[in-house]
Amino acid sequence: MNSNNLNRLLRPRSLAVVGASDDPRSVSGLVQANLSRFNYTGEVHLVSRSRPEVNGKACVPSIHDLPEGIDAAVIITPQAGVLDAISACAARGIGGAVVFASGFSELGCEGRELQEKIARTAREAGIALLGPNCMGFVNFADGVPLTFEPVSPLLHRSGPRIGIIAQSGAINANLRQAFAAKGINVSFSVSTGNEAVLSAEDLLTQLVEASEVDAFAIFVEMIRKPDVFLSACGKARAAGKPVVLMHPGRSPKAREAAQSHTGALAGDYEVMRTLVERQGVVVVDTLDELFDVTDILARFPKPVTSGNAAVVSNSGAIRGISIDFCSDLGLELASLQGTTLNALKEMLPDFATPDNPLDLTSAGMQQPELFGATVQAMLDDSGVGSVVVALMGGSAPQQVAKAKSLLPVIEKSDKPVAFVIMGDGNALADEFNAMVFEGGVPFFRSPDRALRAMAHVHRYGQLVASSGRHGASASVPRLMDLQPGPIAEYKGKEILRQLGLATPEGGLARTVDEAIDIAGRIGFPVVIKAQADSLTHKSDVGGVAVGIKDNEALRGAWKKMHDSIGNACPDLRLEGLLIESMAKPGLELVIGSRRDPLWGVIMLVGLGGIWIEALKDVRLLAPDLDEAEIIAALKKLKGAAMFSGLRGQAPVDLAPVARAVRLVANLMTVNPEIAEVDINPFIAYPSGRDGIALDALFAIAGPR
């Protein structure tokens, strides 16, 4: 996308309203009313086939009658007229266009075909086209409201400025209104709709460079250009601009709903989440979290890279609730230092216990200065990374007293603090509300929401801290002459051996005598497996036999296996049987990788063997994790206790597992024709022994 024309669209010095009307209830009337409310100072040209003037301003009958080089056009025509309008805009050198009309890809093949024609016309002319099926955008920073939703300029306050990007117009408006109510500036609010040309990724790439944006709230149902999105998120992270993302699609039905709404195929949600988090993006699951996390991170953008959470309340019940809730959230509570405990002890009455979470008891009613003093003591503790203050408000004077004590402490803190007055929708004093609004602090009515948001804030710190690390790119082989499709296990194991990973001793036998020779060399007992590129599920057709103890048993197993496969797959031509030594028992894991059609390489690691089917205890990993991060991910598996050694067994050494994952990731990066790798099981052993790959499935997609 032409960055200059996108800038012309977002910051236009001249506009054309195509389809102008003097009806104040029409889309055109609403757009013009917005321009008037914002006192838009650029040139405005009106186009109307039926009216010589609108509201006293002259109209031209056609886009072709406009002067050349207008920055942006608002296309207010029905679906059938959009293509001609964009063609005319191209002829007049218009830089950008907003298309509100619906009836395109969201309706199926016919609409998608028309949308593609419009997109092709716009791209060829370099037009930055927003929509169709969108509600436009508002540039509050420069006073440009190109939307039919009635909007008014926001008060310009000191403090952070949010950029909102949403494929849904309703969600875009919802976010904007929520932030305005919280007293947070919104500088850009963009609805992208069907994204025929401009996508959320393009907008993020452009706005991440904008000085008027300090943090982003993004709602998308489909990321069309993952590489562009990841690059923009990396730039945002480097610039210290947090990105909070909500992306429906965790369930199949949600993916279907997204497809029907946007007219685009939904991608793999878990793959998306894994890779965007690697760039420091905070992925949230609910709209409440999208509001709340953006609220805190916008005001406290410095990542929490050390220290844990603290909670201060005037309720003993909240202390207990917080302990349970933080445990559920994975939000670790800080252990207070001795100096902090002593300071709290000196402040509090004898019947109060200094601890975290801290219960102030009723002492604050007589000494409201305790609220600010105790929070300050918590913030001064180097082991505390954030504080949630969850209080009952009391009477109006008590509310104000709490605010006067707390707000100066919160306002000067560089550690995130969330201020909660419980009571849900119970009205608060006007003076209190004004103080909180002017103080610019994250304010909540629910401790649950505040703690959940703070857990994401700590997660953001962890993501940012790890996102600059990359696994070492050890030398791996560049594979040649691989035919598309699956490849037999013995070929896959040869690749693993070239990587430096261990596989069982053995070899491919094409006759039973060769099998006996191999078994004699490696020693009984042995395993035999049928080998053919197309035979990916050997066990299902009797293609695996284990624990074969001698030559006679081997001859019998050889015949039985050939008979079984011959009956099940009469057209299959075996390349031979793989004869291997029996591996010593250990913990069975799975190591896998696949090349997602949208997102590229993704890694998988978890409990393998029969466990993968029974428990599905696996984690997806970005391909650039280093070995320490891979080990940390393994320790987050539900079955991670098995690594410590159960019932007298020795602990498992995870270093060889991490090394294997890292090598497979490098292999996938160097060999783009590999579509998938599945090593299951990979046997992990106690310290002093490398792991060993007992099975390996490779799928080749062909040259890319």
DSSP string for 2-64: -HHHHHHHHS-SEEEEET--S-TTSHHHHHHHHHHHTT--SEEEEE-SS-SEETTEEEESSGG
With H, G, I as helix, E, B as strand and everything else as coil, classify residue 291: helix
Q: Where in the chain is the domain with CATH 3.40.50.720?
A: 1-133
Provide the strand spans (E) within 329-413: 358-359, 384-392
Angle at CA of residue 373, ends 370 and 376, nearest 5°: 145
pLDDT at 253: 62
Any idea which architecture 1-133 has in CATH?
3-Layer(aba) Sandwich (3.40)
The three-state DSSP-derived secondary structure of 109-169 is HHHHHHHHHHHHHHHHHCCEEECCCCCCEEECCCCEEECCCCCCCCCCCCCCEEEEEECCH
pLDDT at 141: 95
Tokens, residue 627: 């070995």
Q: What is the pTM (predicted TM-score) of this model?
A: 0.92
Asked if residues 411 and 439 have their Cβ atoms less than 8 Å apart, the reply is: yes
Tokens, residue 362: 């009723």
Residue 684 and residue 660: Cα distance in Å, rounded? 11
Q: Which long-range contacts (CB under 8 A, 24 or more apart) does 176-184 make?
A: 176/138, 178/291, 179/217, 179/291, 179/294, 179/295, 180/154, 182/291, 182/295, 182/442, 182/443, 183/157, 183/159, 183/437, 183/438, 183/440, 184/159, 184/160, 184/295, 184/298, 184/299
Partnered with residue 686 across adjacent β-strands are 652
Tell me which residue of 457, 460, 535, 441 sits closest to 492, measured CA to CA: 535
Residues of the chain whose pLDDT is less than 50? 255, 258-266
pLDDT at 106: 85
Residue 636 and residue 90: Cα distance in Å, rounded? 54
With H, G, I as helix, E, B as strand and everything else as coil, classify residue 624: coil
* Homologous superfamily, domain 154-301: Succinyl-CoA synthetase domains (3.40.50.261)
Q: How many other C-beta atoms lie within 10 A of the C-beta of residue 315?
A: 19
Tokens, residue 594: 């696949």
With H, G, I as helix, E, B as strand and everything else as coil, classify residue 188: strand
To 10 degrees, what angle do helices 269-278 and 447-467 make?
A: 70
Q: Where in the chain is the domain with CATH 3.30.1490.20?
A: 505-581
Residue 445 and residue 502: Cα distance in Å, rounded? 57
Residue 488 and residue 697: Cα distance in Å, rounded? 7
Measured in Å, how far apart are the chain's first and last C-alpha atoms? 24
Burial class (CB in 10 A: 0-12, 13-18, 19+), 26: middle
φ, ψ for residue 447, nearest 5 deg:
-65, -30
* Residue type, position 295, single letter: D
Tokens, residue 194: 């069907």
pLDDT at 611: 66
Dihedral sign for Cα 333, 339, 344, 345, please.
positive
Asked if residues 618 and 606 have their Cβ atoms less than 8 Å apart, the reply is: yes
Q: In whole angstroms, how far apart are CA 573 and each of 430, 481, 567?
A: 83, 21, 12
Residue 86 and residue 94: Cα distance in Å, rounded? 9
Q: Where in the chain is the domain with CATH 3.40.50.261?
A: 154-301, 304-345+375-467
pLDDT at 2: 78
pLDDT at 263: 42
pLDDT at 251: 62
pLDDT at 120: 97
With H, G, I as helix, E, B as strand and everything else as coil, classify residue 489: helix
Q: In whole angstroms, how far apart are CA 645 and each of 640, 649, 694?
A: 10, 5, 21
**Model confidence pLDDT, tens digit, residues 455-495:** 999 999 999 998 867 776 667 888 877 889 999 999 999 99
* Rg of the chain on CA atoms, in Å: 31
pLDDT at 208: 98
Entry field: residues in the chain: 704
* Residue the block writes with tokens 């995870």: 654
pLDDT at 261: 38
* Homologous superfamily, domain 587-700: ATP-grasp fold, B domain (3.30.470.20)
Any idea which architecture 304-345+375-467 has in CATH?
3-Layer(aba) Sandwich (3.40)
What CATH number belongs to 505-581?
A: 3.30.1490.20
Residue 254 and residue 565: Cα distance in Å, rounded? 42
